[in-house]
């Protein structure tokens, strides 16, 4: 199949199409629509991602769950796992997968147990609306949204198929999750480091 660039106004692309593209920019596919990834995120975004991913990685040593950070393709099928039938492929900043059957050489196929997205200038609508909806629909158990500018974290927990939002957590709050019993994240450890 010939490599090409997608028509950004078309809304019916599949993962099979995605695999043919040769573009200088990374893209995500949400319900068949192409979303270009922004230019490289700011240093604070990358620092938060590294701190949080490292803490989860260390916690998961010798456990069955695995953590991955972007770029890492997460394919979210609806009915079929065939490439031509998958219309959502995202690259979360951080994701935790506890079912090894969902992992293959291409990344993850199916909903991760936990997804963490870090807001960047220009991606708030995509994270807060488009991805929120698709993560909820596909059954991601928890969706954390970290705001570097506001130094906050919100936990969205899937309850009976709908997300229930936590209050906004800030520096000094301790975050726990039912997805990883025993894990805790002190936001002071996260946000104090980004101020240095």
> Does the pTM exceed 0.85?
yes
> Using one digit for the tens of pLDDT, what is the confidence trace for 49-64?
999 999 999 999 999 9
For the chain, the DSSP string reads ---B---TT-----HHHHTTB--SS-EEEETTEEEEPPSSPPHHHHHHHHHHHHHHHHHTTTSS-EEEESS--EE--SS--SGGG---EE--SEEEE--GGGEETTEEES--SEEEEE--TT-HHIIIIIIHHHHHHHT-SEEEEEETTTTEEEEEEEETTEEEE-PPEETT-EEE-TTSTT-EEEHHHHHHHHT-
Q: How far apart are CA 85 and CA 1, in angstroms?
A: 17
Q: How far apart are CA 44 and CA 118, in angstroms?
A: 10
What's the CATH class of domain 41-194? alpha beta
Q: What is the mean pLDDT of residues 78-101?
A: 95
Q: What is the mean pLDDT of residues 180-186?
A: 97
User: Tokens in use for 160?
Assistant: 């009976």
User: In angstroms, what CA-CA distances link 12 with 8, 16, 38, 138, 162?
Assistant: 10, 11, 22, 18, 26
The tally of CA atoms less than 13 A away on the side-chain side of residue 173 is 13
In the predicted model, is pLDDT for residue 10 greater than 60? no
In the predicted model, is pLDDT for residue 112 greater than 50? yes
Q: How far apart are CA 43 and CA 47, in angstroms?
A: 6
Considering only residues 7 and 28, tell me which one the structure prediction assigns the higher pLDDT: 28
User: Tokens in use for 88?
Assistant: 């959502």
């Amino acid at each position: 199949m010939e490599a090409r660039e997608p028509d950004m106004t078309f809304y019916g692309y599949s993962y099979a199409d995605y695999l043919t593209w040769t573009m200088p920019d990374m893209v995500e596919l949400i319900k068949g629509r192409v979303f270009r990834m922004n230019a490289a995120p700011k240093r604070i975004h990358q620092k938060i991602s590294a701190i949080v991913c490292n803490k989860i990685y260390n916690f998961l040593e010798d456990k069955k769950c695995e953590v991955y950070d972007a770029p890492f393709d997460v394919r979210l099928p609806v009915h079929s796992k065939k490439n031509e039938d998958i219309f959502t492929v995202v690259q979360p900043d951080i994701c935790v997968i506890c079912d090894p059957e969902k992992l293959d050489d291409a990344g993850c196929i199916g909903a991760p147990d936990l997804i963490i997205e870090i807001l960047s200038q220009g991606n708030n609508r995509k994270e807060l609306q488009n991805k929120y909806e698709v993560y909820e629909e596909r059954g991601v158990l928890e969706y954390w949204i970290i705001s570097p500018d506001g130094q906050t974290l919100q936990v969205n927990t899937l309850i009976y198929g709908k997300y229930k939002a936590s209050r906004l957590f800030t520096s000094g709050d301790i975050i726990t999750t039912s997805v990883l019993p025993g894990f805790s994240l002190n936001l002071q450890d996260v946000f104090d480091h980004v101020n240095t």
